[in-house]
Structure 1
Amino acid sequence: MTDRYRIAVLGASGYTGADLVRLALTHPRIEIVALAANAKAGQTMAQIWPHFAPYPNLPVLVKADSIDFAQIDAVFGCLPHAASAELLSTITGPRIIDLSADFRLKDAATYAAWYGGAHPAPALLAQAVYGLTEFARDALPAARIAACPGCYPTAVLLALLPLVAAHAISADNITVNALSGVSGAGRSLKEANLFPEVAEAVHPYGIGHHRHMPEMEQELSLRAGRDVRISFTPHLVPMNRGELVTCIVETQHGADYLREVLADAYTREPFVHLLPAGVAPATRMVRGSNHVVLNVFADRVPGRAIVIAAIDNLVKGSSGQAIQNFNLMFGLPETMGLEQAPLFP
């Protein structure tokens, strides 16, 4: 069909790649023409992911270097950091929607400090737009590369950016505790992710030095007009998907005013929803969807408030937001292919 955009998905054997394919299958303007997963080249999606059995016409997985990118309109990079930029830097022609961390940070030295090695393609950083969609609409239509935010930054920034930009909260003392389902750790075999290790347990990780911290601080600082540093502690919880962040902030205005700021920022947003006063966000409200729910609560400590947001880490926190960015890059309705209601229970 000539009215469809031809896409390739690199890293289709991972969780984000598989969810990208799942969403793209029902997108009326997308044609999936190439799926890459080097270690599983030659296999079908159904062999790797049984839930794709009803879709036998999906392309067979191939090695990325065998794809003719001249025939592709958009490439979705669902690869690990470093590997993503190294491969994508060799591709010319198609527009790129990258789901790794490689193009999120504007400074190559910051990337090297947090990701343990020099950036594989520093010359491309200037071409990348940070793709937190609700705050990137003006830049995405002309973007060569959309750098999709990490799952934690998506939830945290949607909760805090309007408040920081309005100077409604202090930029000096922000504490975030975050909970994520195990799919956020990827599909590779890791002892810490085995069922006996994660079931019936919650544990923190990346304490004081998680790689998503500079990404959040970069965007908060841009909105605040000054350097912002946050305290951030993620936790792994025994569920497959979902993410919830609890942000403790200082304010001179009170929780009701913070709710007004968020209501004003998001009242016309198709995917970001401020819940009624007193209703706590929960991951079950957004599971399987591109929606975000958030709310503000007064803290018993004077001068503090609590902002809570919930997302599906694989959809709004990854593949759904990637398609949202794709839609804007190609002049399509932003919600196209993302109209699925949350799955409950």
Structure 2
Amino acid sequence: MVKVGIVGGTGYTGVELLRLLALHEEAEVVAITSRAESGRRVDDLYPNLRGHYELAFSEPDVRQLAACDIVFFATPHNVAMNLVPELLQAGARVIDLSADYRIRDPQLWSRWYGEPHASPEVLRAAVYGLPEVNRSSIAGATLVACPGCYPTSVQLGLIPLLARQVVDPMHLIASSASGVSGAGRQAKVDNLLSEVADSFKAYAVTGHRHLPEIEQGLSDVAGSPVALTFVPHLLPMIRGIHSTLFARRVDTSVDLQALYEDWYADEPFVDVLPEGMYPQTRTVKGANRCQISLQVPQGRDTVVVMSTIDNLVKGASGQAIQNMNIMLGLPEDMGLKQVGLLP
């Protein structure tokens, strides 16, 4: 069995890791940390896990975590980068679900997160954990930076167009909407039911922290810089992301439906829908799957791509486990065969 440690197990990504790993055929969670809940049983805080775990939360201990085969960080930013270097030195393999190691340039990271990066030397060892792009590098990695939820939906939606140079890379637009769980489990007035229900709003229009991560990944695929206008929105629901992507077409000779179907034909967690069928957040709820469809309205020069994921699964914990499977040479879909929940 694969021994798993989780740092920061009380947030939504932490409990989602526990839910998915509970049915993983080869994984056993042996350590889960929380300074605030140390000593409390996991199934006391999360009764949905009763009968699956006998664990209690504990204080982070490098020796205990280093004895694990894989350590997940399900923490806010500026936590992993203070502990990961010591774990790597002790021989641990780490998957970080926070933003600490996603952006390769430490100065760029500091500009968006408002503080110096605590371990910039480790950034060189981090592999960006989008399997559909970096599968071979992930397999040999000691540190994987699991992509953000918005970046996953946007990148998977635009990658084929940029890789085949079908669209202008300097005129990309992403209008994305997320459920409130994307903001985390902390108490905020803006996330209260009475504040969110029956409403729909944009936020961080002048610049969202996920923008440099998205542009970095898309530039890698395009082989040149890209420029993206990214506008996130808050939906009055718990889970799910719907990204509507716009790009200016410069090559009209390519059959776009065939391009996407061929590009993702062998990807177990990307589903290109038939032409004329549009993705919905409810059909990917609870599943480690991205559903994509595309259109060229009125036959003009704007390509519209629609991409949906569950922000807590393919956008976070499910993708992290997908990375774990790749790193350990396990079947990539092990523990991730859940079907989306309907209704």
Same fold? TM cut 0.5: yes
Q: How does 1:20-169 map to 2 (within 5 A)?
A: 20-55=17-52, 57-65=53-61, 68-91=64-87, 92-169=90-167
The answer on 1:325 being equivalent to 2:323 is yes
User: Contact between 1:11 and 1:35, CA under 8 Å: does it hold in 2?
Assistant: yes
Q: Which residue in the other structure is 1:16 paired with?
A: 13
Note the residue ranges of structure 2 that are not aligned, 5 or more in a row.
none
1: CA distance, partners of 2:158 / 2:83: 33
1:261 aligned partner, one-letter code: L
Greater CA drift, 165-174 or 248-257: 248-257
2:225 aligned partner, one-letter code: D
Any idea what the Cα deviations from partners look like across 1:259-280, whole Å, max 9, x if unmatched? 2221111012111011010001
Note the residue ranges of structure 1 that are not aligned, 5 or more in a row.
none
The answer on 1:292 being equivalent to 2:313 is no
2: CA distance, partners of 1:143 / 1:100: 17
User: Contact between 2:174 and 2:243, CA under 8 Å: does it hold in 1?
Assistant: yes
1:98 aligned partner, one-letter code: D
Q: Which residue in the other structure is 2:232 paired with?
A: 234
User: Contact between 2:139 and 2:327, CA under 8 Å: does it hold in 1?
Assistant: yes
1:75 aligned partner, one-letter code: V
Q: Which residue in the other structure is 2:249 paired with?
A: 251
2:148 aligned partner, one-letter code: G
1:319 aligned partner, one-letter code: S
Any idea what the Cα deviations from partners look like across 1:221-264, whole Å, max 9, x if unmatched? 11112111100010111111011100011103459722222111
The match for 2:207 among 198, 206, 209 is 209
Aligned-pair Cα RMSD in Å: 1.4
Displacement of 1:67 in angstroms is: 5.6
Partner SS state of residue 90, structure 1: helix
Q: How does 1:263-282 map to 2 (within 5 A)?
A: 263-282=261-280
The answer on 1:173 being equivalent to 2:171 is yes
2: CA distance, partners of 1:295 / 1:85: 37
User: Contact between 1:34 and 1:67, CA under 8 Å: does it hold in 2?
Assistant: no
Displacement of 1:83 in angstroms is: 1.2
Q: 1:185 to 1:34 in 2, by over 3 A?
A: same
Q: Which residue in the other structure is 2:188 paired with?
A: 190
Any idea what the Cα deviations from partners look like across 1:106-127, whole Å, max 9, x if unmatched? 1101100001011111111011
Aligned residues, how many? 341
1:83 aligned partner, one-letter code: V
Greater CA drift, 12-21 or 161-170: 161-170
User: Contact between 1:254 and 1:305, CA under 8 Å: does it hold in 2?
Assistant: no
Q: Percent identity?
A: 41
TM-score, structure 2 length as denominator?
0.97
1: CA distance, partners of 2:269 / 2:140: 23
1:80 aligned partner, one-letter code: P
TM-score, structure 1 length as denominator?
0.96
Displacement of 1:66 in angstroms is: 6.8
Displacement of 1:208 in angstroms is: 2.3
